[in-house]
Amino acid sequence: MPPKVEFKIGQIKEYIEEIIYFLKTNQKVILFEKYPELKELTKKENYNKEKIIKFFKQKEKEFNIAIKQSQEDFQKSWNEINDKVMIALENVNETKWPKELKIISAKITLNPICPRYLEDYSFDIHFAFPNILMKRITLHEISHFIFFKKFKEIYPKINPKRFEYPNIVWNLSEIVPLMILGDKRIQEIIEHEPSIYNVYKKLKINEKNILEILQNFYNKRKNFTDFIKTSYNFMKKHEKEIKTKFEMI
């Protein structure tokens, strides 16, 4: 049996440090869009961690019922496609899910930014997402898990730290969901626009968009291993340029 995505309610004490981390990065704009009050609490001259924690504890109480409802709705909606999606991802990536993997945990949180955790096959998801967005985000995150499994099969000596920002393997992993989830074998199960960072839609190498370049590699691949090797070699060749442009956009 393929693994199941299990939606669980996260407690603010479990992930408040991640929110605080994001508030110190460019991704804080996503948090500000959802919680405009945070702007005042995060000004350089009066940054107050205790007030930020208090703010989210209050939000946790305020949205308690909505969060519980989301858990029920998300689980019911996702269960309709879980098995088909998991099998299709095996076929697209040309590898099997680990035999010991039974559950992928989706933690429902107040955080509109959805980090994933490779070490324990889990990710966070915002409680207020509509079902179609929940499915797009879930597809994106679980695609990472099986992609990195395949990547390690091809490059068994690679340091897993290179799977994290700002390494070039991380950049590659954030682009390939466009190809993997855009594959007809996935789209036949759930037609959707794959979720990727908008920055890649503007990033060009030799006057050509990087998404078009990698999509061309995918279209011409001999197999999935060939796609990964060709894409990874390209990313390494243009690593400095990609990282520089990624920061500038």
Name the least confident of 30-44, 97-111, 137-151, 226-240.
Answer: 30-44
Residue 249 pLDDT > 60, yes or no?
no
Question: What pLDDT is stored for residue 243 in this prediction?
Answer: 84
Question: What pLDDT is stored for residue 40 in this prediction?
Answer: 87
> Which pairs with CB-CB distance under 8 Å and at least 24 residues apart come from 201-208?
202/249, 203/242, 203/245, 203/246, 203/249, 204/245, 205/238, 205/241, 205/242
Task: Report pLDDT digits (tens) over 33-84.
Answer: 999 999 888 887 677 889 999 999 999 999 999 999 999 999 999 999 999 9
* Cβ neighbourhood burial of 110 (10 Å; 0-12, 13-18, 19+): buried
Question: What pLDDT is stored for residue 42 in this prediction?
Answer: 86
Task: Report pLDDT digits (tens) over 154-185.
Answer: 999 999 999 999 899 999 999 999 999 999 99
Residue 223 pLDDT > 60, yes or no?
yes
Is the model more confident about 148 or about 45?
148
Question: What pLDDT is stored for residue 25 in this prediction?
Answer: 87
Is the model more confident about 239 or about 44?
239
Upstream peptide bond of 166 is cis (omega within 30 degrees of 0): yes
pTM over 0.85: yes
What is the residue-averaged pLDDT of the chain? 95
Residue 135 pLDDT > 70, yes or no?
yes
Percentage of the residues of the chain whose pLDDT score is greater than 90: 88
Question: What pLDDT is stored for residue 248 in this prediction?
Answer: 53
Q: Which residues pair with 125 in a beta bridge?
A: 108
Question: What pLDDT is stored for residue 45 in this prediction?
Answer: 63
Residue 215 pLDDT > 90, yes or no?
yes
pLDDT level of residue 2 (50, 70, 90 thresholds): very high
Percentage of the residues of the chain whose pLDDT score is greater than 70: 98
